[in-house]
């Protein structure tokens, strides 16, 4: 498979599409990002790296971090986690409170904000130094020590965290949050502020393309079964209320973030990360999803 030719062609075709989305403006630090940026990185199980455009420029991964914290908690809690968070697509915006009232404080899935807060809450109970542990995990799976929290982004998110605070306190009223809510929001905002390049992001998802084994340190992150289940959750819930359309158009498990990043995998083959800050109406990168749809079409391979 000539991935270089395919990626270069997609990059040329998609790059003129700037202007079809808008950068996230509800977090002031993200609103300042130059929208006309676009990068692609593909990492294969046999060690190839193919990059195009701004694939080595750092950006805030935002909700993509939910995959890392979920993996960290799943490896300790296993099926016990699902007593506190569901596994169904929400069909609602990522920061919605609507379903929590009817479903007694149990979020639909780990990738909407409410579900991610529950996962981070569990992580705080499992790890003595949760922020340091998250950063260590991400550096290990990305095989890079050059990964940090963006303090400006974290601070900006905390200053505009009213909805997430409301979610946290609402779930705590149902007994579904154990830790102090302010401390929870601090950890959550920091995990979302992590900055990575497309190359680092593609590498960091290789353990999910490699059936749970980190190919860089040769340690097992998740069992084969748990890796499969995390991939299934990404396919059905990883793109908010656009998840069904993403599965229909692209056919890969993946996760998006409002920083404009999108990452997806084909198990046993590869990981691909795309960054372009302009978002569609669902909060997903417009050019990122366009790139991934063209990629699976051009290579003739998806998980289906």
Active site residue 38: no
Mark 253-280 as b/e (b = at least 16 C-beta within 10 Å): bbbbbbbbbbbbbbbebbbbbbbbbbbb
E strands in the chain: 39-44, 49-53, 59-60, 148-149, 194-196, 213-214, 219-220, 254-256, 261-266, 270-275
266 bridge partner residues: 270
pLDDT confidence of residue 199: 98
Average pLDDT over residues 172-183: 97
- Please identify which of the residues 11, 14, 63, 172 carries the catalytic annotation: 63
**What is the percent of the chain with per-residue pLDDT over 90, rounded to a whole number?**
87
Q: Residue for token digits 């340690």?
A: 219
Contact 116, 174 (CB under 8 A): no
* 4 contacts: CB under 8 Å, gap ≥ 6: 50
User: Among 3, 11, 127, 188, which one carries the catalytic annotation?
Assistant: 188
Q: What secondary structure, in 3-state letters, does 215-254 show?
A: CCCCEECCCHHHHHHHHHHHHHHCCHHHHHHHHHHCCCCE
Out of 3, 43, 65, 66, the active site residue is 66
Is 58 catalytic? The answer is no
Residue 156: per-residue pLDDT: 95
Catalytic residue among 55, 122, 240, 250: 240
Mean pLDDT, residues 11-22: 96
66-90 pLDDT, tens per residue? Answer: 999 999 999 999 999 999 999 998 7
Q: What torsion do the CA atoms of 54, 242, 290, 2 make, to the nearest 10 degrees?
A: 80
Query: Lowest mean pLDDT: which of 121-130, 217-226, 295-304?
Result: 295-304
Average pLDDT, the chain: 94
Q: Residue 66, class by beta-carbon neighbours within 10 Å (0-12 exposed, 13-18 middle, 19+ buried)?
A: buried
In CATH terms, is domain 3-299 a member of 3.40.710.10? yes
Give dist(CA 133, CA 151) in Å, integer: 17
| 65 three-class SS | helix
188 catalytic? Reply is yes
- The pTM of the full predicted model, rounded to 2 decimals, is 0.95
Q: Exactly one of 14, 181, 187, 258 is catalytic; which is it?
A: 258
pLDDT of 98 strictly over 80: no
* 129-136, long-range: CB < 8 A, 24+ apart: 130/187, 131/187, 131/190, 131/191, 133/72, 134/65, 134/68, 134/69, 134/72, 134/187, 134/190, 134/191, 134/194, 135/194
Per-residue confidence band for 102, with pLDDT thresholds at 50, 70 and 90: confident
Residue 19, judged by CB atoms within 10 A of its CB (0-12, 13-18, 19+), counts as exposed
């Amino acid at each position: 498979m000539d991935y270089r030719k395919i990626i270069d062609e997609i990059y040329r075709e998609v790059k003129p599409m700037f202007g079809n989305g808008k950068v996230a403006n509800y977090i002031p630090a993200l609103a300042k990002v130059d929208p006309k940026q676009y990068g692609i990185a593909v990492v294969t199980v046999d060690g190839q790296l193919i990059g195009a455009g701004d694939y080595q420029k750092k950006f805030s991964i935002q909700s993509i971090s939910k995959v890392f914290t979920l993996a960290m908690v799943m490896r300790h809690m296993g099926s016990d986690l699902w007593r506190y968070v569901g596994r169904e697509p929400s069909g609602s915006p990522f920061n919605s409170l609507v379903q929590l009232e009817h479903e007694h404080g149990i979020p639909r899935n780990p990738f909407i904000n409410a579900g991610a807060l529950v996962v981070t809450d569990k992580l705080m109970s499992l790890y003595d130094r949760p922020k340091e542990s998250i950063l260590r995990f991400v550096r290990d799976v990305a095989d890079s020590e050059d990964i940090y929290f963006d303090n400006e982004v974290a601070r900006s998110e905390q200053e505009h965290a009213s909805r997430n605070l409301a979610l946290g306190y609402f779930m705590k009223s149902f007994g579904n949050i154990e830790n102090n809510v302010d401390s929870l929001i601090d950890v959550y905002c920091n995990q979302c502020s992590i900055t990575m390049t497309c190359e680092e992001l593609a590498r960091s998802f290789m353990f999910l393309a490699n059936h749970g084994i980190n190919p860089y340190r040769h340690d097992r992150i998740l069992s084969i079964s748990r890796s499969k289940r995390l991939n299934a959750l990404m396919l059905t819930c990883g793109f908010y209320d656009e998840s069904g359309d993403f599965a229909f158009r692209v056919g890969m498990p993946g996760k998006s973030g409002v920083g404009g990043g999108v990452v997806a995998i084909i198990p046993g083959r590869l990981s691909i990360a795309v960054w372009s800050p302009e978002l569609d109406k669902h909060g997903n990168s417009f050019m990122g999803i366009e790139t991934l749809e063209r990629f699976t079409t051009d290579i003739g391979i998806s998980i289906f």
